[in-house]
Amino acid sequence: MTNVSTQGSTQGAAQAIISRDNTYVEHTYARFPIALVKGQGARCWAADGKEYIDLTSGIGVNSLGFCDPEWTSAVYAQLTTLQHTSNLYYTEPCTTLAEALCTRSGMKKAFFGNSGAEANEGAIKAARKWGHVHHGPSCHNIITLKQSFHGRTLTTLAATGQEQFHKEFDPFPTGFSYAEPNDITSLESMIDENTCAVMIEFVQGEGGVRALTQGYAKAVDELCARRGILLIDDEVQTGIGRTGKLFAYEHYGVMPDIVTCAKGLGGGLPIGAILFGEKTKGTLQPGEHASTFGANPAVCAGALAVLNRLNEDGLRQVNLTAQTIRTGLTDIIRRYSGMTRDIGGLGLMIGVSLPMVSAKDAVNVGIKHGVLTLTAHDRLRLLPPLTITPDETADALNRIEKAARSFR
Ligand SMILES: *Cc1c(COP(=O)(O)O)cnc(C)c1O
């Protein structure tokens, strides 16, 4: 057992943090009444001393769990050597990360920013410019899918195919329309001479952890190729090993023209990347796109530590763990409800519609039993650290079982 001191942790210490936060932080999040102070691997500790197994990874961010020693020393070594320069100069970590991402994805060029929304925003700019250059100035429309999620900036919100996000923030940038997922005729009927791209998540994350069908994904790829338009693949949640392959598109045997990633890439530090394929590389020229913090050397060093761990062995482990958790969950649901449930998503991106209990109630009961989980729409969502150990996994399933018992 890792020796973690929770000395000085009290209910009072937790309450003090929570009440000051309530006073001074603009509450755009419905926070749980937990103040986390420390983490190691898949375990973390709250200010009141309580231990949790974390099956959220900071929403798919802490790929290697909390404070992984290799990741921490890579970041620290870079921080104490050269913590930031502008993008007017070359730096090795940026170069090496771009090379690693391109080599392992088959994409040709990388651009670095700081978040998923920023990566998608840049991808949308690139697709529009590509449309202008190749098909004329009115070719700038992008079709996305219903139940998609692409970010919180005005343009990525406009790209998001969920009505609930479109309230009270209008006017939005125009040029987006939304097709029915897994329905190729819906998409085909919407493409016209002003369409420059289709943008999809292979597994819709915030939309409920719903994987596109194999046949549909293949048909989208073929349709885009036939109509001479771009396929943009938002891998902000699915990318960097989360689904058991480095990128989700590898499961589908398709090759997108632009791939965005963020969340899990940095292992806990902010980074977003746009990867450009053969057709789109060189679209954005000097002066056309930038990000002051983008390609920060320490952040890139951390991302390289993440990629290095997600080698063949690392990805094999992700798939083994995914199998254990999926089987465990199916068993628990069957034993406590008598019902069989398909566990949705891919790899360690797990979503399940629970019988008899809402996802939100399930998360709250999980907290009582020391396990942190998420919701996605109507579903319970698990995004465990990709390096969660067999012991931590067994402990997590035990705690989930105890939580399930309380619903019987
Ligand atoms: C989280 C997410 C985003 C937004 O990423 P941020 O880093 O929060 O801006 C975009 N697309 C998908 C698929 C996501 O899951």
Same domain, residue pair 334 and 206? no
Same domain, residue pair 287 and 351? no
Same domain, residue pair 220 and 318? no
Query: Long-range contacts made by residues 397-400, C-beta under 8 angstroms, separation at least 24?
Result: 397/324, 397/325, 397/328, 397/329, 397/332, 399/53, 399/366, 399/369, 399/370, 399/371, 400/328, 400/329, 400/332, 400/366, 400/369, 400/371
Q: Which residues line ligand 1 (CB under 6 A)?
A: 115-117, 120, 149-151, 201, 205-206, 234, 236-237, 262-263
264 near 242, Cβ under 8 Å? yes
Q: What is the radius of gyration, based on Cα positions, of the chain?
A: 21
Q: How far is the CA of 260 from the centre of ligand 1 (A)?
A: 10
Instruction: Check whether 4 has a pLDDT greater than 70.
Output: no
Same domain, residue pair 174 and 237? yes
* Sequence-separated (6 or more) residues with CB below 8 Å from residue 92: 297
pLDDT single digits (tens) 291-330: 999 999 999 999 999 999 999 999 999 999 999 999 999 9
366 in any annotated domain: no
State which of 29, 201, 236, 271 you would mutate to test the pocket of ligand 1, scoring each by most atoms of that ligand within 8 A of its C-beta.
236
Q: For 233-245, what is the mean pLDDT? A: 98
Same domain, residue pair 144 and 26? no
336 near 404, Cβ under 8 Å? yes
Measured CA to CA, the distance from residue 51 to residue 29 in angstroms comes to 23
Same domain, residue pair 80 and 185? yes
Measured CA to CA, the distance from residue 350 to residue 397 in angstroms comes to 14
- Return the structure tokens found at 322: 């995914």
55 in any annotated domain: no
- Return the structure tokens found at 378: 């109507």
Any bridge partners for residue 293, and if so which? none
Confidence label for 174 from pLDDT (cuts 50, 70 and 90): very high
The sheet that has 374-376: what strands, in order across it?
Answer: 344-346, 349-352, 379-382, 374-376
91 in any annotated domain: yes
Q: For 75-96, what is the mean pLDDT? A: 98
329 near 400, Cβ under 8 Å? yes
Measured CA to CA, the distance from residue 166 to residue 272 in angstroms comes to 24
Measured CA to CA, the distance from residue 130 to residue 283 in angstroms comes to 6
User: Is the alpha carbon torsion for 61, 64, 66, 72 positive or negative?
Assistant: negative
Measured CA to CA, the distance from residue 333 to residue 6 in angstroms comes to 34
Q: For 30-44, what is the mean pLDDT? A: 97
Nearest residue to 262 (alpha-carbon basis) of 43, 53, 58, 38 = 58
Residue type, 314: G
Atom number in ligand 1 closest to CA 118: 9
Atom number in ligand 1 closest to CA 235: 13
Query: Model-level pTM greater than 0.85?
Result: yes
Same domain, residue pair 79 and 174? yes
Locate tokens 């419905």: which residue? 30
Any bridge partners for residue 110, and if so which? 275
Preceding omega of 171 cis (within 30 degrees of 0): yes
374 in any annotated domain: no
pLDDT for position 82: 98
CATH number, domain at 177? 3.40.640.10
> How far separated are the first and last CA of the chain, in Å rounded?
32
Same domain, residue pair 340 and 215? no
Same domain, residue pair 288 and 329? no
Q: For 174-194, what is the mean pLDDT? A: 98
Same domain, residue pair 289 and 345? no
12 in any annotated domain: yes
pLDDT for position 1: 38
pLDDT for position 3: 42
Same domain, residue pair 284 and 328? no
* Containing structural domain, residue 297: 70-309
pLDDT for position 167: 86
Give me the number of domains the chain comprises: 3
State which of 210, 237, 291 you would mutate to test the pocket of ligand 1, scoring each by most atoms of that ligand within 8 A of its C-beta.
237
For 75-123, list the strands marked E by DSSP: 109-113
pLDDT for position 407: 80
Q: For 227-256, what is the mean pLDDT? A: 98
Q: What percent of the chain has pLDDT over 70?
A: 98
296 in any annotated domain: yes
Q: How far is the CA of 222 from the centre of ligand 1 (A)?
A: 26
Confidence label for 8 from pLDDT (cuts 50, 70 and 90): low
> What does the buried/exposed string (b/e) look like for 291-328 if buried means 16 or more CB atoms within 10 Å of the residue's CB?
bebbbbbbbbbbbbbbbebbeeebbebbbebbebbbeb
User: Is the alpha carbon torsion for 323, 325, 329, 332 positive or negative?
Assistant: positive
Alpha carbons within 13 A on the beta-carbon side of 210: 18
pLDDT single digits (tens) 108-153: 999 999 999 999 999 999 999 999 999 999 999 999 999 999 999 9
Nearest residue to 259 (alpha-carbon basis) of 93, 122, 63 = 122
58 in any annotated domain: no
Nearest CA to ligand 1 atom 15: 237
Instruction: Check whether 12 has a pLDDT greater than 50.
Output: yes
The burial class, CB within 10 Å (0-12 / 13-18 / 19+), for 404 is: buried
Measured CA to CA, the distance from residue 27 to residue 39 in angstroms comes to 24
Same domain, residue pair 353 and 245? no
Nearest CA to ligand 1 atom 11: 150
221 in any annotated domain: yes
